[in-house]
Each structure stands twice: as C-alpha cells, then as structure tokens.
Amino acid sequence: MNCNESIMRAGENGISMFGTLIGIFLTSAGVVIGADSAFWGAGTPPPDQAGKVCVTGPRSAATLQGWYGEGLYLHKRFHEICRDLARSSKSLPLEAQADRLARKLEQAYREHTGALPQSAASLPPPSSRHVAYVAVAGFEAGIPLLTVRDIRWERQGKGKWRLTAERASQLIAQTCGVRFLGEDAVAKVLLDKSARFQEEKRRPEVRAGSLANQLYKEDDCIASSLSIEGAKALYRLAVRLTIDHGEEFAIENGAVGGRLHLLTILPDEAIEEESIDPEQYVGELPAPEGTFSEFAGSPEREGGESS
C-alpha cells in the first residue's frame, strides 16, 4: 500500500471512530473529567480496562478523543505515553505534557499511515480533517487548568495537505469552565441560550456549568458555584441527552454511551476514580438537589456556551 492509499484508508476507517463524549470541568475544589466507554465503529474489540482517560501525574490526567487507529494503535500509544509521564521522576507542566502527547501521537500516526512529509504535499483530501484532540487537565500551583492540542489535517494550497498538532485555544480554560470534546452538539445546546431542553436548563448543575463558562470569559471565576458533584451530574445528564436526542443532531446511534469513567483531580489529595453503569444515568432524571440562589438576582449571567 503506498502512502496516499494508506492516508485514504486511514480517513475512511477513522470516520467511524469519532464517537465519544468527554467532559472536562474546572471547579475551585477539583477538576472532574468524564469519559464514556463507547468504541463506536471499531473493527477491533475495545480494550477491557484502558479507557479514554489516563493519569499523567499526581495532579494531572489526559484524555484522547478522535480516531483511535486501526487496531486502536493510537489509543494504545496514548496509554504508553501516559504511563511514561506518570512514572517520570520530574513532573512536567501541563502544557509540556500536552505538547509531548501530541508530538508523539502525531509521530505514531505518521509512522502508521506511511512516510508523510513534514511539509505540505499533494495528497487525496481526508475524509475528516480532525484526527484527535489530546487534552491535559489538572492543578498547577494550586490553580485548575485545561490545555488541548488538535491533531488535524490543514489544507495548504491547491490539493496540498499537511498534518499538524496545534494548541486549540478555543478549548483552553483556567480556574473555571466546562468543555466537551467529541460528539458535543447536544451538550453545547444544553449550555447555550436556545429554547431547547428548557426543563433541563433549569437544573442547578446546568445553570452552574453555563455560568462557569460565562465567568471564565469575564475573568471572574471566583463567583463560580460549579461543584464537583454538580460537574458529575452535568456530565451524566449530557451523556443521557446525547443518547436520547443525538440523532436529531446528526449523531449516530451508539456513538456515545456505555459505562462512564469519572476522574476527580484534587489539589491536595489522591486522584479519585469511579465508574457509572448505564442503568445509573439512563432513565428518569433524579430530582435536582439543593438550590441555585447564587445568581438568582443576576439573570443576565444565565446561559452561556460549552466553550
């Protein structure tokens, strides 16, 4: 198989591997990362234990969303790099961790798909420009942070394409905020000002998540009331609504779901992990817990976006 044929094949197989929904939530008390376990469209059986989130240090973790590769080779390489980072005697800053993960995954993609040149080359157009998001989140100097790298194809000139790994500035957050990666169309609507999902938008965890994004834009995260438990509830709700309404947003059935993996990074304690079976988040919504009086008098701050 020549290089061009390999790239075309990678794109064709990759298009069915974009299913998943990853949520990353920055709160003052901790960073919550949620990931589903759907390996939708994969020709290879999904791994038994290794998920889409990995621990990279005592206060940090990484996620991989996108094309996991034939035989899940990018997914496997992702976990190998994570283990190396976690075992390192010197903890790297989050930005450096993201750079290393993106660089090594880009290299693995090049090696697997053929001798891709570093510069732009005449290649068939990819089925999807997006290859994968690599996100690293955690605490740095006591501040919750999220940084993301986007491995993607960029068009440079007529018929010429170049593989790049760039900092995804629109997805980066510090101190507070909610970000979704993957099949995020439903999750974005859940946090915006549209008329969809009005009942769900009155729930305290949704209002707190929407407000957190607005406060991040205003550089006023000290007023954010998004809690760790609220972040977990928001992620479960986003997954459930994506399963229920995904087809209305061009999300294929089965692209999101399965057992959920929740990881909580705390500023001064060990990282906590938990799993949630589908029967715990699919079905009737639980009654909202508590109230949300923190901004009852500030309706102009209600609403927001997922990024």
pLDDT tens by residue, 228-265: 999 999 999 999 999 999 999 999 888 899 899 999 99
Supply the pTM of this predicted model.
0.85
Higher pLDDT, 50 or 211: 211
Residue 119 has phi, psi (to 5 degrees) of -90, 175
Choose among 82, 76, 38: nearest CA to 271.
Answer: 82
pLDDT tens by residue, 133-186: 999 999 999 999 999 999 988 887 777 777 889 999 889 999 999 999 999 999
**For range 266-287, the mean pLDDT:** 86
The count of C-alpha atoms lying within 13 angstroms of the C-alpha of 155, restricted to the half-sphere facing its C-beta, is: 9
Q: Which CATH architecture has domain 3-287?
A: 4-Layer Sandwich (3.60)
pLDDT band per the 50, 70, 90 thresholds, residue 9: very low
Cβ(180)–Cβ(299) below 8 Å: no
Helical pair 3-14 and 94-113, crossing angle rounded to 10 deg: 120
What is the sign, positive or negative, of the torsion defined by CA atoms of 192, 193, 194, 200? positive
- Ordered by start, the domain boundaries in the chain are 3-287
Cβ(227)–Cβ(29) below 8 Å: yes
Q: Collect all residues with Cβ–Cβ distance below 8 Å to 298 and sequence separation of at least 6.
A: none
Q: 90-110 burial by CB neighbour count: b if 16+ within 10 A, else e?
A: ebbebeebbbbbbebbbebbe
Choose among 270, 193, 213, 168: nearest CA to 27.
Answer: 213
Question: Which residue bears the tokens 């957190």?
Answer: 212
Query: How far are the Cα atoms of 34, 52, 306 from residue 28, in angstroms, in the given order?
Result: 17, 24, 18
